Structure 1
């Protein structure tokens, strides 16, 4: 069977539910049906524009890199949706308690940044890092979980911006490249070809995606996908995995869709969609004969919400919605899009198939529930104690006991959490002053001003590295090394 989606804008009640449902739906889809066929066959076959022989992404990457940013999120840890078909669950990568890493890109000189909605869900604080090592506290203007788009705003003018293209022109076999910060390695470039465009995922609410074989990993979320001309044609969103690893199936949201959502978020802070309260699933070739239909088109009603416009109109489980405001049968994706695009307060004319006969149904359109925007905090309280670190001192002789003597992180919040410190890290020095106790740590930071960046020497396992702690009183964007580059 196929698991149902909601025929409205409320497909994603929570990240956990979303990821598990998507994982199950896509895992079954691989067994049951090829969800869509090759697209744009005629258009791509008739193309006369000669693409370059021997693609070189070096110039394109250099062109886009100044506008690609790193996004550090505090308050949540699930920063990468992975459809894991082996376990039927969403595999989480790079989990650090309370901290997530993603990518994004600047599309407006006024400081508007695009990233993935799943990356900032649950965020208490969002920090954007630019190519010139500046760090900005970011405001979440709005987000839309259905398309996985979030719009951020940072201070600053005359910022570099990406060059935008059109995803609708992409053909299977065309070369594309992604840029982002997989596992924190900033502005990494990976390349591949378009596998399908558009690709509709079962349970995806009719949202089109660009399928590629570009290698994407945790931290790539929200980064740009650009074509060989150097124009951004998509925003990287998720991978399809077996066992939690990349296997050559990656998905990006077309930039045309991204920008439509971004403009609505910019104007109103939310995306408004219609809904009728009918939960549906695609009608497959296997299911169609059971309902007396020769063609597998339309949306099969699985459940009708109590008190919804669908119930008032008389829709029931087992009905097949063949079309919306049209005489000819429509695809499942087109029906989803037609309903969600309807304005609340209007009415839709449904062509319904019931008991092997057509039935016209008029249904009212109700407003969908807009996604709530997380309330983010400004960076680093001026009264923050020890940068948000709480320590445990380990005493004794080296080599005796499980841990060597030293100063260990017991809990972390605030500035230290933003920098990537975590439980169990050993603090060896503050700037160039060695420390082995809390008293020595306190003495070392007394001379540090609220406007100064501090470098803490950290040992994690067998690795050592200096980690920059941003100023406790950020009077202006300051230069700072990327937090993600702190340790392996």
Structure 2
């Protein structure tokens, strides 16, 4: 995932607005509708055709950047030197409009300085970030292209627990990998999360999957892969995807205005569960339980307290937790909401003003104004052959990286062996090999990292590089 947001401990998307949710879920359909859906579905699951249909619209996303959020959430990043975070990560995404609109995860592009996407037919495009929304973990990218393949979008609200789904992405850089499993719960609210309902599955998701599609047996995209939940940092059977209904709604807002505006009242809430309801004198698990009220917030000014249960907004009957969140988030700044509040086993009504959550700002990319650089941003040290009793070949050792080399994935300690098909043993060889190279040329550097050799592409620095670079990818060379 950068698509999977893996921290050292349990992994969840943070970015709370109106709520801090607990781990409860409810079926989004009645049992009868799910039984009817099951009776009409084919027995067994064959995702071959579905994967073949979706694959052309699934892209790899490569990010170079320095932001602290970016470094913390990066799916795959390496080090330039010991103890220093290397500014490069990988994620997945999918094209949903033929004119170049792509969805991926917000945590994958936060802090980005340059973003590129690679399509199934190995075309590489520079991407622009039109907007991000941390609460739902959605980022909207745009590339300059037309007539691109697109995914088939379905309805996440139709998903039932037990239904088969599959994910596609690039876990650990292995492009267009498909993993399958079943829906565990829909919706599911993650403990400590943002209060956004998610689709819980047992589909295997790993770093590099974030932003890729989750699709059903009919080959329709029903979610965007977001995170795995793991106490140890690896896959442990619990994965989460953002419902495609939510992702597309956020994408439309970002495409039209570049931001998502939400109201808030300054109350942190959690769902009122069946287990909690009796403690507050209620016999139904509806409403939102207030766990904290922010200082000087509209909620505090209106008299809302921790331990109150918000049963409904305005004149509605008792509402589910998610509906209360949506009603508050959708309210305009300066408007008043009438909350039906349950306190000490009595019903109250209070008027609460609505404030506005500042929208997330898209990272400002710098690819169009690159400064001049020497040796692709590499600082190199010559190795002079036999040292002591070790029989070491002469070559160039990478001491530090920046610019083009950094975006290409080179790092401290790499050894350069060749430029394109020309062997280099020293700085004079290297300088001679690159002397005739233009900024519009793609260069292949043969790199020794540990005991593995692979060619790494240094992409053109000209803005026109967004056109096409066929046959070149960031993939490590594979043994036949």
How many Å apart are 1:418 and its aligned residue?
2.0
Native 8 Å contact 1:241 1:249 kept in 2: yes
Structure 1 counterpart of 2:472:
481
* Residues 1:407 and 2:399 are matched in the alignment: no
Distance in 1, Cα, partners of 2:340 & 2:388: 77
Residue-pair matches, total? 460
Instruction: Find 2:64's aligned residue among 47, 65, 74.
Output: 74
Instruction: Find 1:241's aligned residue among 214, 218, 230.
Output: 230
- Post-superposition CA distance 1:126-153 (Å, at most 9, x none): 1111112121111100011111110001
Distance in 1, Cα, partners of 2:194 & 2:8: 12
TM-score by length of 2: 0.87
- Post-superposition CA distance 1:96-137 (Å, at most 9, x none): 211110000111111111001111111111111111212111
Structure 2 counterpart of 1:262:
251
Distance in 1, Cα, partners of 2:23 & 2:316: 26
Q: Which moved more, 1:465-474 or 1:325-334?
A: 325-334
* Greater RCO, 1 or 2 (C-alpha within 8 Å, sep 6+): 2
Instruction: Find 2:54's aligned residue among 49, 64, 70.
Output: 64
Instruction: Find 1:467's aligned residue among 456, 460, 469.
Output: 456
Instruction: Find 1:375's aligned residue among 364, 368, 391.
Output: 364
Structure 1 counterpart of 2:77:
95
Structure 1 counterpart of 2:262:
273
Q: Which moved more, 1:383-392 or 1:267-276?
A: 383-392
* Residues 1:154 and 2:143 are matched in the alignment: yes
* Residues 1:386 and 2:368 are matched in the alignment: no
Instruction: Find 1:362's aligned residue among 338, 346, 351.
Output: 351
SS, match of residue 433 in structure 2: helix
C-alpha change, 1:21 and 1:303, in structure 2 (3 Å) is: farther
* Residues 1:308 and 2:297 are matched in the alignment: yes
* Residues 1:427 and 2:420 are matched in the alignment: no
Native 8 Å contact 1:433 1:444 kept in 2: yes
Native 8 Å contact 1:398 1:404 kept in 2: no
Structure 2 counterpart of 1:331:
320
Structure 2 counterpart of 1:202:
191
Matches within 5 A, 1:47-58: 47=37, 50-58=40-48
Structure 2: gaps of 5 or more residues: 16-20, 79-85
C-alpha change, 1:402 and 1:378, in structure 2 (3 Å) is: farther
Q: Which moved more, 1:259-268 or 1:211-220?
A: 211-220
Native 8 Å contact 2:14 2:194 kept in 1: no
Structure 1 counterpart of 2:434:
445
Structure 1: gaps of 5 or more residues: 1-14, 26-31, 82-89
Distance in 2, Cα, partners of 1:33 & 1:204: 8
Q: Which moved more, 1:363-372 or 1:92-101?
A: 92-101
SS, match of residue 290 in structure 2: strand
**RMSD over aligned Cα atoms:** 3.1
Q: Which moved more, 1:45-54 or 1:414-423?
A: 45-54
Q: Which moved more, 1:65-74 or 1:173-182?
A: 173-182
How many Å apart are 1:47 and its aligned residue?
2.7
Q: Which moved more, 1:36-45 or 1:109-118?
A: 36-45
